[in-house]
Amino acid sequence: MFNIKVSINVNGINYCREIDPTVRLIDFLRDELKLKGTKEGCGEGECGACTVIVNGKTINSCLMLASSVNGKNVITIEGVSYKGKLHPIQEAFMEVGAVQCGYCTPGMILSAKALLDKNPNANEEEIKVALSGNLCRCTGYKKIIQAILLAESKLNNK
Ligand code: FES
Ligand code: FES
CATH number, residue 64: 3.10.20.30
92/128 same-domain check: yes
59/38 same-domain check: yes
Q: Work out how many domains the chain is built from and give that number.
A: 2
In a domain, 99, yes or no: yes
Residue 102 pLDDT: 97
The residue among 40, 46, 38, 6 whose CA lies nearest residue 22 is: 6
58/9 same-domain check: yes
Residue 157 pLDDT: 86
State if residue 52 touches ligand 1 by the CB under 6 angstroms criterion: no
Query: Could you tell me the residue range of the domain that residue 139 belongs to?
Result: 88-157
For the stretch 73-121, pLDDT in tens is: 999 999 998 668 999 999 999 999 999 999 999 999 999 999 999 999 9
State if residue 108 touches ligand 2 by the CB under 6 angstroms criterion: no
| Total-model pTM | 0.96
Of all residues in the chain, what percent are helix, strand and coil, respectively (each to 5)?
Answer: 40, 20, 45
For the stretch 28-73, pLDDT in tens is: 999 999 999 999 999 999 999 999 999 999 999 999 999 999 999 9
108/150 same-domain check: yes
In a domain, 123, yes or no: yes
| Boundary residue ending a domain (31, 47, 75) | 75
State if residue 93 touches ligand 2 by the CB under 6 angstroms criterion: no
